[in-house]
Amino acid sequence: MRILIEPSAEQAVSRTVGLIAEQMHRNPASVLGLATGGTMEAVYAGLIEAHRAGGLSFAGARSFNLDEYVGLSGAHPQSYRHYMQDRLFRHVDFPRGATHLPRGDAEDPVAAAQQYEARIAAEGPIDLQLLGLGTNGHIGFNEPTSSLASRSRVTCLAPSTLEANSRFFGPGEPQPGTAITMGIGTILEARRIVLLATGAAKAEAAAAMIEGPLSAFCPASALQMHTDATVVLDEAAAARLTQRAFYLWVARQDPDGGLFRPRPHGRMTPVAN
Ligand SMILES: O=P(O)(O)OC[C@H]1O[C@](O)(CO)[C@@H](O)[C@@H]1O
């Protein structure tokens, strides 16, 4: 796990945009795994800016989003399809039909989740999976106690997630309590993972993900098992890391490249892969 701590949220976002742009330059036919949520809005604004400046194209790319609310069609303003159209897809040049999200309005959501998993298996692997972090440690809508080997499926949202996301719904507007999400096992099959978390509200979850035990109580801790996972944090989100100074030192030695995995007692060992 490579830990990159940036001084501000803006710099953490820029670093994340840079990692995605670098992936697209390296492989213009990349399969991208995309995320939603408040944190990602600035990332997508950065990608749009880079696209408009002429340095970034998605014309050869495909994408799979992490999740979608059950019961919402893509036209619903709170659906993640609508979010993605609005914040990214309609501003850049993905080919028609190349962007995928689970079908939230499917008659049979269980079957829709299985079909989504099969489609990822057929068109994948995902080259770069972008992730946000829930305040309770969730990734996608894999809430605490999700199996670390889980596949795409229907899940129930945790009360803390419903509370955190209620800000996106108007007064009296019904908020779905279930979603289709890629599983943790599905996410771990991506070739490369980039997780972005900013702000003090994410500090506890970030520390549990990076330094805590591998545990279904913190779904993001599963990233400890991935051989190419980069975690980008701002100072506020990094505030609870006991080895914060050491991660900064390691990043200074190797600002662009190698993979390092935190070990107990503050040692870092290059990962051979
Ligand atoms: O960026 P936010 O809004 O804090 O959300 C963090 C995570 O929570 C979700 O919004 C789901 O609740 C994810 O889509 C996102 O990755």
- For the chain, the structural domain boundaries read 2-244
Least confident of 9-18, 120-129, 264-273: 264-273
Pairing, β 67-69 against β 178-181: antiparallel
Q: What φ, ψ does residue 150 adopt, rounded to 5°?
A: -65, 155
* Ligand 1 center from residue 270 Cα (angstroms): 30
Task: Compute the mean pLDDT over every residue in the chain, rounded to the nearest whole number.
Answer: 93
User: CATH assignment of 2-244, given 3.40.1350.10, 3.30.70.1560, 3.40.50.1360, 3.40.50.300?
Assistant: 3.40.50.1360
Indicate whether 220 pLDDT > 50: yes
Ligand 1 pocket (Cβ < 6 Å) reads 35-39, 132-134, 161, 165
Residues of the chain above pLDDT 90, percent: 85
DSSP tally for the chain: helices H, then strands E: 8, 12
pTM over 0.90: yes
What does the pLDDT read at residue 149? 98
Encode pLDDT of 103-115 as tens digits: 999 999 999 999 9
In one-letter notation, the amino acid at residue 194 is: V
Indicate whether 257 pLDDT > 60: no
* Ligand 1 center from residue 196 Cα (angstroms): 10
Task: Name 209's Cβ contacts closer than 8 Å, sequence gap at least 6.
Answer: 133, 137, 195, 218, 220, 221, 223, 224, 231
Indicate whether 135 pLDDT > 70: yes
Q: Is the dihedral of CA 103, 108, 109, 113 positive or negative?
A: negative
Encode pLDDT of 154-199 as tens digits: 999 999 999 999 998 888 888 999 999 999 999 999 999 999 999 9
